[in-house]
Amino acid sequence: MSRPLVIATIARERGITGVHTHVRQLRAHLARTGGTAELVTPHTWAVGSPPRALVLAPLFGARVLLERVWGPGNVWWYRTSHELFLRRALRRRLAQEEACTVYAQCPVSARAALAARQGPHQRVVLAVHFRISQADEWADKGQIRRGGRVYRWIRDTERDVVPRVDGLVYVSSWARSAVHEWMPEAAGVPDTVVHNFVSAPVAKAQAQAHEAPEVRETARPAGALVSVGNLEAVKNHRYLVQVLAAARDKGYTYTLDVFGEGVEHGRLTSLADQLGVREQVHLHGFRTDVQQRLPSYSAYVHASYSESSSLAIMEAMAAGLPVVSSTAGALPELFDDPEEGRFWPIDDPEEAARILIGLMESPEELRRVARAGRDRFARDYDAEVVAPRLLAFLGAGTTAR
């Protein structure tokens, strides 16, 4: 029997992260199939109450100052304040429910849900979007000291929360293995591996374009590459610029459009200038219509150092784009080389350029790989196929409110 589904997250409703996309895709699928999933965030506590909104503004705004002057204080304040108001919002919401499932999107959200639920009849299931401790993620960003007080506090929180939830949803087998390695306690929690998923309207619309070369040539200028992701060091967009330069030196000029925001923007621009490919690199920032834009490109390129999954690659496959990617983390689970895409090294721009050129300069191979990738998407990542598996584990479905 289906239960009402409540999605809990400390993030705002709108955003560009993989968590935001995961939540949007799940809610969109439920809407198409006659159901809904209510989203509860810390800001939900103030909805409909101007006095409460006035309380939240200075509390959450304090992060702007703390982030600049005291990284550990910023991290502690962010997690503590957001958990507090998420817990209050959830307590009010769950008081209206009997049996239901709370689908938490991070350990902080899960702890708030465990504290707010009325009893074990209200299940808490955690989506494991991470592969390392969030303490390590904050340390990698330079906000806290590895091994410091806030670092230890975050890890202790995760080891307390994860074993107490009613279920874990991993987005890849690699992510499950990675988490079990540093948190063996997680192995005792019922779990499932359900790949991320996206809707497929673009993929279906492009099916005919790939079967008709003349349509494809009109829609996709030769040599137009695209990549999507926050401009952070781990996404390794700098390497893409280096590959472009190596390909140019071999006599092949490709353009690269990057959609995303982040601290690497200035460094990418400087590197493109330094390597003489500034006219080939275009940084577009965050756009809400990226999936609709994808079919206008020739191929999708990805060079991340670490990934527990990649919605960006799935969206590219849905759009019928050939994919060239690193083999970081779970990425080898997404497609097979050479049948459905290409993997390239991320420590050898010359070799990566050779692989890219070999694919880009063969229109027939581009079409074949695109068709195979789109077929793989339809089997393994289409929301209509994958979302029901997730909902079955959550115990929710079209009757969710």
The residue ranges of every structural domain in the chain are: 5-197+383-394, 201-380
Q: Which residues contact 274 (CB under 8 A, 6 or more apart)?
A: none
Q: For 222-280, what is each residue's pLDDT tens digit? A: 689 999 998 999 899 999 999 999 999 999 999 999 999 998 999 999 999 999 999 99
Burial class of residue 271, CB neighbours in 10 A (0-12, 13-18, 19+)? buried
What's residue 14's pLDDT?
Answer: 81
For every residue of 242-287, which 3-state class applies, written as one string? HHHHHHHHCCCCCEEEEEECCCCHHHHHHHHHHHCCHHHEEEEECC
Residue 216 pLDDT > 60: no
Q: What would be the CATH architecture of the domain defined by 5-197+383-394?
A: 3-Layer(aba) Sandwich (3.40)
Q: What is the pLDDT of residues 54-113, one digit of tens each?
A: 888 777 777 777 888 899 999 999 999 999 999 999 999 999 889 999 999 999 999 999
Domain 201-380 of CATH type 3.40.50.2000: yes
Task: Give the H or E element holding residue 168.
Answer: strand 167-170
pLDDT of residue 17: 79
CA distances to 29, 42, 175, 183 from 400, in Å = 12, 21, 28, 32
Radius of gyration (Cα) for the chain, nearest Å? Answer: 22
Task: Report pLDDT digits (tens) over 324-358.
Answer: 999 999 999 999 999 999 999 999 999 999 999 99
Do the strands 5-8 and 255-259 form a parallel or antiparallel pair, or are they unpaired?
A: unpaired
Backbone angles phi, psi at 232, to 5 degrees: -120, 155
If one counts every other C-beta atom within 10 angstroms of the C-beta of residue 116, the result is 22
Q: Count CB atoms within 10 A of the CB of residue 34.
A: 10
> pTM for the whole thing?
0.85
Q: 5-197+383-394 and 201-380: same fold? A: yes
**Predicted pLDDT at 291:** 86
